[in-house]
């Protein structure tokens, strides 16, 4: 199993001191290599969920087990290192660093994992996403579709066990949407990486064999119940 | 990709702001280097390193005036010493070289000081490890001269040039009749020798008007050797012999023209100062001090370590100016450091998302902290290095001009102790100005930064 969420509770403190419940998930799991589409309305807690799975945020309670280890109880330093090594992230807005070339953006993804920088593998990944001829181009000189392809290559740079994709085609032109989608899914399949893709598009979700609606398994009220108890 | 490379990429991305902030540091460091190189040249011109002698012996009076007149030729001489005392010093087992200087006159053109001395002056090193380089022939005639490089340049004199001299300083207006010839020119030394005309000591005595009346010489000898009757008797005996010889010469008709110069008897001669080399201080460390103490006890002479009064002067006046300039340039560097702080700190708001992305990719808080500190270090140390190189390059380029204008020998690559601490100080400055922006990066909330 590559991902297991158990009894996850997450709430935010509002300016008045009241707590705003966001996530209440009893159990959610993904097996190795599985690809899941996650549907959810805006403000439904999707980004918070991805941040908790990636270790950027910690839940108020519950377990977040990735590749056999609970990252929720890890110290922040260990969790950062674990995220670099085990989790790939593809953002909706690509989040490439403008000072770095396409190749350097991928190498940057390798820099914090502790595994060292493998330039040959980085080039291989960029060739895999069809950008072998644009290695030294800065993001500003790449089209939107190409930028997202660099982001996909970067997310796979450390050979993660889990790839989190947050609406990766939302900002891409229709011509590139299917290309990016296929690229992410094929690459994950080739590398046996589990994929959790957040999307608004029923059309995109429809191509996945497993579709989860966040509203169906997320019960924020559980946070309040526990607080009351 | 290490933190320094990541920092360098970020610096390059903000080229204009980075260049301007690094430039301000570079300018500060460049000014400091120039101040240190020039003050180092001034300092070395006034210290032991620029004088190849251990002691200057002269009449009792101001030690500073003696050194300034005998070594730097900046002041009028105090008075004269009997030439016989030079012989006495030469016989002292502690002295390995005693070189007489007789001066007081200047060239009519350019008012360069005239110094009567012996060939020993040119055989000795003018500063430790530095021997005179002379172009031309040796002094043979009484009025042959060797001129310093500055005298040659400013007066456009060369070997074969002839000139006249003014008695007792330019203001006296009395021009001697004798014509002097240049037989050799010294290579630049960066010392007062460059601005001096050297004359055979015997030639100096042969100049009309330089001889003193016997009665005056006798009085001086009596004053000088008042506490040493034995030596006084010896000196007066020699003077008596000189008197007889003078009387004989006066009564005797040579039967030829008196245009030639007579050889002055030693008892009638005087010297203005004596440059003394004592035995090597490593084997005989007390020699110089012993001579200084011996002279304090008697006679009308004093021996001065040339470094002491000059260092007193340099530390008292130039030292404070140097410190003030170093502090001023230090302030410029500090202000430049603050501009780096402002530049990096202002960029933090724009870079919040970048930091969030790096953290999302697995960078730890200490990584982003280190990247910002490295940026500050790249700007401070890189700017400092550029400033250091430009400063020394400017010193190299300007040194011929400075030598020509001032006679100061600039060593553009001489490292001052302040320069040795410059780069550690820049590292500390980088850490100080980078700390607050680095802490901002350290504290960045990743989730907020990514959603911003």
Q: Do A111 and B354 touch (CB under 8 A)?
A: no
CA distance A182 to A152: 11
pLDDT classification of B132: cutoffs 50, 70, 90 = very high
Residue B187 is given by DSSP the state: P
How many other β-carbons are positioned within 10 Å of the β-carbon of residue B411?
14
Give residue-wise pLDDT tens across range B218-236: 888 888 888 778 888 888 8
CA distance B117 to B138: 13
**A229: pLDDT strictly greater than 60:** no
Mean pLDDT of B21-43: 84
Structure tokens belonging to residue A3:
């991902």
Q: Do A107 and B1 touch (CB under 8 A)?
A: yes
Pairing of strands B81-82, B270-271: antiparallel
What pLDDT, on a 0 to 100 scale, did the predictor assign at position B237? 85
| Minimal C-alpha gap between A121 and chain B (Å) | 14
What pLDDT, on a 0 to 100 scale, did the predictor assign at position B62? 87
A109 contacts A155 by C-beta, under 8 angstroms: yes
What pLDDT, on a 0 to 100 scale, did the predictor assign at position B414? 73
A-to-B residue pairs, Cβ atoms closer than 8 angstroms: 73
- B283 or B350, higher pLDDT: B350
Q: Do A108 and B354 touch (CB under 8 A)?
A: no
Q: Do A100 and B9 touch (CB under 8 A)?
A: yes
Place of tokens 């959610």: A28
* Residue B364 contacts A, CB cutoff 8 Å: yes
Chain A contacts of B354, Cβ < 8 Å? Answer: 97
Please enumerate in sequence order all residues whose Cβ is within 8 A of that of B390, keeping only pairs 6 or more positions apart, or say none.
B26, B30
Closest by Cα among B336, B89, B366, B338 to B231 = B89
Distances (CA, A) of B95 to A30, B34, B84, B120: 98, 40, 16, 14
**B355: pLDDT strictly greater than 70:** yes
What pLDDT, on a 0 to 100 scale, did the predictor assign at position A107? 94
Strand partners, B55: B276
What pLDDT, on a 0 to 100 scale, did the predictor assign at position A71? 93
Residues written for chain B:
452
Chain B contacts of A104, Cβ < 8 Å? Answer: 1, 9
Radius of gyration, CA atoms only, chain B: 32
Strand partners, A23: A10
What pLDDT, on a 0 to 100 scale, did the predictor assign at position A49? 93
What SS3 string covers B51-67? Answer: CCCCEEEEECCCHHHHH
What pLDDT, on a 0 to 100 scale, did the predictor assign at position B261? 52
| Minimal C-alpha gap between A109 and chain B (Å) | 6
What pLDDT, on a 0 to 100 scale, did the predictor assign at position B381? 92
* Residue B393 contacts A, CB cutoff 8 Å: no
**B161: pLDDT strictly greater than 90:** yes
**A28: pLDDT strictly greater than 60:** yes
* Residue B94 contacts A, CB cutoff 8 Å: no
Mean pLDDT of chain A: 89
What pLDDT, on a 0 to 100 scale, did the predictor assign at position B270? 87
* Residue B375 contacts A, CB cutoff 8 Å: no
Q: Do B353 and A95 touch (CB under 8 A)?
A: yes
Please state, for a pLDDT cut of 90, what percent of chain B lies above it: 25
CA distance A166 to A84: 17
Residue of A nearest to B444 (CA): A56
Chain B contacts of A77, Cβ < 8 Å? Answer: 364-366
Mean pLDDT of chain B: 84
Least confident of B55-64, B69-78, B83-92, B194-203: B69-78
| Minimal C-alpha gap between A135 and chain B (Å) | 16
What pLDDT, on a 0 to 100 scale, did the predictor assign at position B173? 66
Give residue-wise pLDDT tens across range A128-165: 888 999 999 999 999 988 998 999 999 989 989 999 99
CA distance B99 to B119: 9
Give residue-wise pLDDT tens across range B173-222: 678 888 999 999 999 887 889 999 999 888 888 887 777 777 788 888 88
Q: Which of A48, A76, A112 sits opposite B367 (nearest CB)?
A: A112
CB interface of B with A, residues 288-347, below 8 Å: none
Q: Which of A56, A109, A158 sits opposite B446 (nearest CB)?
A: A56
How many other β-carbons are positioned within 10 Å of the β-carbon of residue B223?
12
**A88: pLDDT strictly greater than 70:** yes
Radius of gyration, CA atoms only, chain A: 18
The helix or strand, by DSSP H or E, that contains position A88, with its residue range, turns out to be: strand A87-90
CA distance B221 to A118: 93
Tell which of B9, B14, B360 to mutate to test the A interface (max A CBs under 10 Å).
B360
Place of tokens 């630049």: B188
Chain A contacts of B366, Cβ < 8 Å? Answer: 77
0.90 cut: is pTM over it?
A: no
Q: Do B451 and A95 touch (CB under 8 A)?
A: no
**A80: pLDDT strictly greater than 90:** yes
Chain B contacts of A110, Cβ < 8 Å? Answer: 1
Structure tokens belonging to residue A177:
């949407």
pLDDT classification of A55: cutoffs 50, 70, 90 = very high
Strand partners, A165: A90, A197
- B280 or A67, higher pLDDT: A67
Q: Do B9 and A111 touch (CB under 8 A)?
A: no
**B49: pLDDT strictly greater than 60:** no
Please enumerate in sequence order all residues whose Cβ is within 8 A of that of B128, keeping only pairs 6 or more positions apart, or say none.
B48, B49, B52
What SS3 string covers A160-185? Answer: CCEEEEECCCCCCCHHHHHHHHHHHH
Q: Which of A57, A98, A112 sits opposite B361 (nearest CB)?
A: A112
Q: Do B362 and A113 touch (CB under 8 A)?
A: yes
Chain B contacts of A89, Cβ < 8 Å? Answer: 360-361
Please state, for a pLDDT cut of 70, what percent of chain B lies above it: 91
Distances (CA, A) of A126 to A33, A90, A119, A189, B360: 21, 15, 11, 17, 20
Q: Do B1 and A104 touch (CB under 8 A)?
A: yes
- B112 or B46, higher pLDDT: B112
Q: Do B362 and A57 touch (CB under 8 A)?
A: no
* Residue B362 contacts A, CB cutoff 8 Å: yes
Phi-psi region of B372 (alpha: psi -120 to 50; beta: other; left: phi over 0): alpha
Q: Do B6 and A108 touch (CB under 8 A)?
A: yes
**B400: pLDDT strictly greater than 80:** no
CA dihedral B53, B55, B61, B67 (to 10 degrees): 20
Chain A contacts of B1, Cβ < 8 Å? Answer: 104, 107-108, 110-111, 117
Least confident of B98-102, B168-172, B176-180, B385-389: B168-172
Structure tokens belonging to residue A176:
């590139």
Residue B281 is given by DSSP the state: T
**B356: pLDDT strictly greater than 90:** yes
- Residue B340: CA atoms inside 13 Å, Cβ hemisphere, count? 36
What pLDDT, on a 0 to 100 scale, did the predictor assign at position B60? 85
């Amino acid at each position: 199993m590559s991902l297991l969420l158990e009894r996850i509770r997450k709430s935010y403190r509002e300016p008045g001191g009241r707590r705003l419940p966001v996530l209440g998930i009893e159990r959610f799991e993904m097996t190795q290599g599985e690809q899941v589409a996650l549907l959810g309305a805006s403000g439904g807690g999707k980004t918070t969920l991805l941040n908790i799975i990636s270790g950027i945020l910690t839940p108020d309670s519950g377990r977040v087990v990735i590749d056999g280890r609970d990252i929720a109880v890890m110290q922040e330093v260990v969790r950062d290192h674990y995220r670099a090594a085990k989790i790939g992230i593809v953002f909706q807005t690509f989040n490439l660093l403008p000072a770095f070339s396409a190749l350097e953006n991928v190498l940057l993804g390798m820099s914090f994992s502790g595994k060292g920088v493998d330039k040959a593998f980085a080039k291989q990944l960029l060739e895999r996403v069809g950008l072998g001829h644009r290695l030294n181009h800065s993001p500003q000189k790449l089209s939107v579709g190409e930028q997202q392809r660099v982001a996909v290559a970067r997310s796979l740079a450390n050979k993660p066990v889990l790839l989190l994709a947050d609406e990766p085609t939302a900002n891409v032109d229709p011509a590139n949407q299917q290309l990016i989608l296929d690229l992410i899914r094929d690459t994950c399949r080739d590398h046996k990486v589990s994929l959790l893709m957040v999307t608004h598009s029923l059309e995109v979700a429809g191509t996945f064999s497993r579709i989860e609606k966040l509203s169906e398994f997320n019960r924020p009220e559980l946070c309040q119940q526990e607080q009351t108890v | 990709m290490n933190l320094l490379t990541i920092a360098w990429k970020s610096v390059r991305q903000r080229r204009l702001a980075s260049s301007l902030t690094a430039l301000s540091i570079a300018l500060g460091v460049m000014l400091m280097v120039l101040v240190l190189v020039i003050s180092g040249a001034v300092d070395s011109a006034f210290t032991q390193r620029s004088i190849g002698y251990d002691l200057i012996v002269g009449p009792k009076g101001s030690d500073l005036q003696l050194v300034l007149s005998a070594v730097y030729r900046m002041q009028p001489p105090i008075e004269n010493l009997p030439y016989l005392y030079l012989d006495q010093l030469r016989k002292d087992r502690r002295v390995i070289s005693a070189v007489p200087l007789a001066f007081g006159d200047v060239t009519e053109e350019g008012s360069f000081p005239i110094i009567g001395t012996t060939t020993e002056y040119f055989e000795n090193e003018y500063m430790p490890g530095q021997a005179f380089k002379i172009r031309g022939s040796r002094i043979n005639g009484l009025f042959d001269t060797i001129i310093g490089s500055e005298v040659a340049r400013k007066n456009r004199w060369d070997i074969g040039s002839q000139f006249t001299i003014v008695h007792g300083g330019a203001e006296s207006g009395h021009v001697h009749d004798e014509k002097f010839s240049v037989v050799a020119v010294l290579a630049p030394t960066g010392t007062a020798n460059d601005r001096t005309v050297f004359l055979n000591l015997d030639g100096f005595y042969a100049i009309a008007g330089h001889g003193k009346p016997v009665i005056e010489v006798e009085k001086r000898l009596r004053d000088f050797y008042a506490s040493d009757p034995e030596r006084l008797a010896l000196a007066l005996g020699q003077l008596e012999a000189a008197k007889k010889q003078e009387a004989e010469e006066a009564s005797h008709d040579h039967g030829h023209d008196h245009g030639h110069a007579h050889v002055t008897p030693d008892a009638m001669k005087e010297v203005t100062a004596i440059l003394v080399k004592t035995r090597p201080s490593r084997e005989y460390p007390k020699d110089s001090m012993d001579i200084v103490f011996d002279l304090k006890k008697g006679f009308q002479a004093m021996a001065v370590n040339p470094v002491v009064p000059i260092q007193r002067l340099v530390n008292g006046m130039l030292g404070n100016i140097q410190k003030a300039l170093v502090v001023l340039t230090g302030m410029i560097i500090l202000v430049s450091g603050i501009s780096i702080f402002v530049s990096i700190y202002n960029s933090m708001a724009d870079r919040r998302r970048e930091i969030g992305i790096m953290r999302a990719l697995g960078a730890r808080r200490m990584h982003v902290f280190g990247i910002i500190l490295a940026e500050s270090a790249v700007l401070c140390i890189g700017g400092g290095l550029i400033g250091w190189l430009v400063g020394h390059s400017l010193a190299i380029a300007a040194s011929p001009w400075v030598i020509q204008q001032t006679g100061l020998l600039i060593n553009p690559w001489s490292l001052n102790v302040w320069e040795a601490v410059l780069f550690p100080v820049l590292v500390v400055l980088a850490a100080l100005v980078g700390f607050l922006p680095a802490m901002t990066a350290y504290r960045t909330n990743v989730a907020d930064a990514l959603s911003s």
